[in-house]
């Protein structure tokens, strides 16, 4: 089944899970699309089975809190940032609920975490104005970049380069093998003082970069030339909430939730809005991602919603 405008318009909430007492701050699908794991401000980690459509287990990180949860490539393991006590990144085995390793180094809150799509490398960005490069097998930082402001960062889909959005006005591209030589490309954007960048993602085909903000607009860039292709607005975000925006796996559409519980979908190429879906969320839709393998997506406030299409186009 192919994603089209009509299929996207037909998506409806199939299941709602009320496992959390506070907002879900992040979730991540496994690469095979079979599970999704969430972190919440109530210090819990909830694992869901996407095929059966039900929660499988709940773990807690009461002491350190939990945010920015990400699957690693090893089965049943995740990394996540802390939002209490310190700013150490933690590597957890879900199988026996034990920490495998800690990654200390940042001295302010970690605001970006991206796992390499191809190996055990990951990068983190922090309010301490640094990006750190790590390897899951070692607690020691493998590389450090000092920046001029708050960073958002992500690997490209091939794991060869990573992009850093700095100070909400510049995107810098680094070659992973020689990042210490500095960026090989820098794109300067028109600075918008009304909002800051809160996320950066590559499309799966590697051709586009999506910048999300805590304001009422998203920006779509050409990943090679840095030209701004589209700015997407018209969704509600008056309170400066961090709303996650995502590409569909085919790189054709862009989606974001809003503070009124609705989900907006645009065509990446034309920039036209193709759908407005009602998620019936009780709060702002802070997290939203499409399943990498199956025709479903998830959105979250303090509740988690699984969506399915209602037509076969």
Q: Per residue in 176-227, pLDDT tens?
A: 988 888 999 999 998 888 889 999 999 999 999 999 999 889 999 999 999 9
In which band, very low, low, confident or very high, does the pLDDT at 265 lie, cut at 50, 70 and 90? very high
- Tens-digit pLDDT profile for residues 23-80: 999 999 999 999 999 999 999 999 999 999 999 999 998 887 888 899 999 879 999 8
State the burial class of residue 125 (Cβ atoms within 10 Å of its Cβ: 0-12, 13-18, 19+).
buried
Residues 172-178, mean pLDDT to the nearest whole number = 92
Of 304, 240, 310, 243, whose CA–CA distance to 275 is shortest? 310
Question: According to the model, what pLDDT value does residue 64 have?
Answer: 79
Q: Where are the alpha helices (DSSP H) in 55-129?
A: none
Residues 98-107, mean pLDDT to the nearest whole number = 91
CA 189, chain centre distance (Å)? 21
Contact 210, 218 (CB under 8 A): yes
Q: Torsion over CA of 283, 286, 290 and 291, rounded to 10 degrees?
A: -90
Of 93, 126, 122, whose CA–CA distance to 109 is shortest? 126
Residue holding tokens 């800051």?
196
Residue holding tokens 């090893």?
74
Helix, strand, coil percentages for the chain (3-state, nearest 5): 5, 50, 45
Residues 140-157, mean pLDDT to the nearest whole number = 92
Question: According to the model, what pLDDT value does residue 276 have?
Answer: 96
Of 74, 160, 79, whose CA–CA distance to 115 is shortest? 79
State the burial class of residue 277 (Cβ atoms within 10 Å of its Cβ: 0-12, 13-18, 19+).
buried
Answer whether residue 158 shows pLDDT above 80.
yes
Of 74, 112, 68, 108, whose CA–CA distance to 90 is shortest? 68
- pTM metric for this prediction: 0.94
Residues forming a β-bridge with 170: 166, 188
Answer whether residue 156 shows pLDDT above 80.
yes
Question: According to the model, what pLDDT value does residue 313 have?
Answer: 62
Cα separation, 308 vs 246, in Å, equals: 17
CA-based Rg of the chain, rounded to a whole angstrom? 18
Q: Torsion over CA of 179, 244, 51 and 82, rounded to 10 degrees?
A: 70
């Amino acid at each position: 089944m192919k994603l089209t405008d009509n299929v996207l318009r037909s998506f409806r909430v199939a299941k709602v899970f009320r496992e959390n007492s506070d907002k879900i701050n992040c979730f991540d699908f496994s690469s095979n699309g079979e599970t999704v794991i969430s972190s919440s401000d109530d210090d819990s980690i909830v694992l869901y089975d996407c095929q059966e459509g039900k929660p499988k287990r709940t773990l807690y990180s009461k002491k350190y809190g939990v945010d920015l949860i990400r699957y690693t490539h090893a089965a049943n393991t995740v990394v996540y940032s802390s939002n209490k006590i310190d700013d150490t990144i933690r590597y957890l085995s879900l199988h026996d609920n034990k920490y495998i390793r800690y990654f200390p180094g940042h001295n302010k809150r970690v605001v970006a975490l991206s796992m390499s799509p191809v190996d055990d490398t990951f990068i983190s960005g922090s309010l301490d104005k640094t990006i750190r490069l790590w390897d899951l097998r070692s607690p020691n930082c493998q590389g450090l970049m000092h920046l001029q402001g708050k960073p958002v960062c992500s690997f490209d889909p091939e794991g060869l380069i990573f992009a850093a959005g700095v100070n909400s006005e510049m995107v810098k591209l680094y070659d992973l093998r020689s990042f210490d030589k500095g960026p090989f490309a820098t794109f300067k954007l028109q600075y918008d003082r009304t909002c800051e960048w809160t996320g950066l993602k590559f499309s799966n085909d590697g051709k586009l970069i999506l910048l999300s903000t805590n304001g009422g607009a998203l920006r779509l860039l050409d990943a090679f030339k840095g030209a701004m292709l589209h700015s997407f607005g018209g969704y509600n975000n008056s309170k400066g909430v961090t709303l996650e925006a995502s590409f569909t796996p085919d790189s054709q559409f862009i989606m974001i939730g809003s503070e009124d519980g609705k989900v907006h979908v645009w065509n990446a190429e034309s920039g036209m809005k193709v759908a407005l879906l009602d998620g019936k969320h009780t709060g702002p839709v802070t997290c939203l991602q499409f399943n990498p393998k199956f025709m479903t997506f998830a959105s979250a406030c303090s509740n988690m919603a699984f969506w399915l299409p209602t037509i076969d186009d």
